[in-house]
Amino acid sequence: MPTAGSDQVRRRLALAGATLERRTEGGKSLWSLRLPRSGSPALQVEAPGGPTAPPPQIARILAAFVRGDELDDGTAAPEDDLVHAPPDDASDSGAWFQHMLAEQYAEVLRHDPGVRLALEPEDLHRLRVAVRRTRALLRAARPVIDTSWSEPLRNELRWFGGVLGPRRDLDVLLENLRSAIAELDEPERSHATTLLDSLDSERRAAQTQVAEALASDRYMQLLDALEDACRDPRLAGDVSLKDLAGREFKRLRKAMDDLGDDPSDEALHEARILGKRARYTAELAEGEVGKKAERFVGAAKDFQDVLGAHQDTIVAEARLRELLANASGTGAAFAAGRLVERERQRRQEAREALPDTWKELERRGERAWS
């Protein structure tokens, strides 16, 4: 008979869309795990194991699902109190908020195993985005939420996002630099490749920090808190999600109006952050507003891409200058200089693309939130 603990794990697996099954073939017991991953092929693992519990290979992968609870062979079908379908009533802001929280919690569960196994950079990216979206949702809901409960949760999400950040930044940096190096001619290409050795070492160290965080009691407690939020988000009132999204858009528009003709890199970075908040809150309001909100979200993605590329070039140039200072030989120094020139060109292209991208986003925002 499945235990209460195993039921809890089953609910988490159901939320993530995962399946865990045991079957017998040729007298041997085999366990199969299939876990969908946004933007990547599903994670599929099969391993032999006894009839009462999955083998260690699978149990380790499912640490975020199990958290010390028992897990049986899957004969139970508990009532699912975590999966929240989009509410039929578009004006039910509380139900929409709860649904969106559950969606982000599901994303955390889906991509935790891939990050543990260091499978693909996309896993960590998706996990980090889910953390950011959850923080943005809780921030947007401040007028109608119990902040004595939500702010400590936001602080823990900030801690976890901070752990994920260095590895994600290095993933992006290495991908961009490798793409740039591939365009160089020899011998610059070979010299430039040697510059990445220290960055690869940093990335391995950053992954170690991520792995330690995933194994910590603090992270498991954060998962418990997210699960509690999905069940009871502690809303203290009701408010139009359209109004919340409109408020974030107004903050972004004010920041853009204040930029001037030659904005600083810092001001553009702040606009990028405000753009993310506006986008995530708009996603929350899609059920209430419909197509206009969806179009705003699409334009916000383009806006983020432009300012994201701009920020990436700033980070890349700064790191290249560090590498240049430690480069041995004129070949490596020359290659680093070529890469710096490329990043400056990319930054200029992003600045030139920004006005039109913002104009489209502003137009979509006026239509969606007026």
182-193: per-residue pLDDT in tens?
888 888 888 888
CA 305, CA 342: separation in Å to the nearest integer? 18
SS3 50: coil
Q: Are 48 and 113 in contact (CB under 8 A)?
A: no
Do 92-234 and 240-370 have matching folds?
yes
Q: Copy the structure tokens of residue 92.
A: 């039910």
Indicate the DSSP class of residue 182: H
pTM more than 0.85: yes
CATH numeric code, 92-234: 1.40.20.10
pLDDT at position 327 is 67
Indicate the DSSP class of residue 235: B
Stretches in the chain below the pLDDT threshold 50: 1-4, 75-77
CATH architecture of 240-370: Alpha solenoid (1.40)
Residue among 259, 265, 156 nearest 217 (CA): 156
CA 190 from centroid of its chain's CA atoms: 34
E strand or H helix that includes residue 99: helix 93-116
Bond into 187 cis (ω within 30): yes
Alpha helices in 258-329 (DSSP H): 265-289, 291-326
Show me where the domains of the chain are located. 4-66, 92-234, 240-370
Half-sphere exposure of 24 (CA within 13 A, CB side): 5
Task: Name the one residue in this structure whose structure tokens are 């039109």.
Answer: 356
Indicate the DSSP class of residue 74: S
Amino acid at 342: R
